[in-house]
Amino acid sequence: MTETAADQPTSVADALTREHREIDAGIEAFVASAGADDLSSDVSKWAAPLLVAMTALRRHIYLEEEFVFPPIRAGDLMMATMVMLREHGELWRAMDELTELLESAADDPTRREELVQHCTSMLELLDAHNSKEEPIIYTRADADLPTEARAELQDFLRRGTMPDGWVCERAAG
């Protein structure tokens, strides 16, 4: 599906919030389908919504840490940004654990509930994170990002990719 100009978010907050919803929807789609009896043994097929969502979440964390946080990190948003970075680390580690679990449990229908539980936990982390990030960080990003930084971010949102091997600042814990 091709986006039209009317589909384009009008603000940084709108664009990033839309990404949150799309990521959540991918994880939720996986959870909804994980119990099906007719799942292919090929994990890349039945887990596709989850794999796409995790790739999008890693990219989303990258763009926040590289484009959004640096210009607003100083001053009264320093503590809020530190909380966001810590939570990004938690999410990153949760994705690493989920990836390992997918690799080890994908062909074992008895372990699918474990996958669903991990996804549910990750959705809870995302909900707690997004409920702070959207009203605090995103609204300030629209107001406080310099014009050049906003233009770079909008360009990245349209076509940017995360560099190979990049990990978030707090991935190690």
Q: Is residue 93 part of a domain?
A: yes
Q: Hey, what's the torsion of the CAs at 142, 53, 25, 154, to 10 degrees? A: 20
Name residues of the chain where pLDDT drops below 50.
1-6
Rounded Cα gap, residues 120 and 97, in angstroms: 13
Using the Cα atoms of residue 64, residue 87, residue 119 and residue 111 in order, give the sign of their dihedral: positive
Look at residue 39 in the predicted model and tell me its pLDDT.
56
Task: Report pLDDT digits (tens) over 50-85.
Answer: 999 999 999 999 999 999 999 888 878 999 999 999
Q: Global pTM?
A: 0.89
Please calculate the CA angle 137-15-116 and round it to the nearest 5 degrees: 85
Q: Is residue 166 part of a domain?
A: no
Residue numbers of the domain that contains 81: 10-159
Alpha helices in the chain (DSSP H): 12-33, 43-46, 48-63, 69-72, 78-105, 112-132, 139-144, 147-159
CA of 109: how far to CAs of 45, 105, 118, 154, 162, in Å? 15, 8, 15, 42, 33
Q: Is residue 42 part of a domain?
A: yes
Count of structural domains within the chain = 1
Q: Is residue 21 part of a domain?
A: yes
Look at residue 106 in the predicted model and tell me its pLDDT.
64
CATH of the domain at 135: 1.20.120.520
Q: Is residue 167 part of a domain?
A: no
Look at residue 103 in the predicted model and tell me its pLDDT.
83
Q: Is residue 2 part of a domain?
A: no
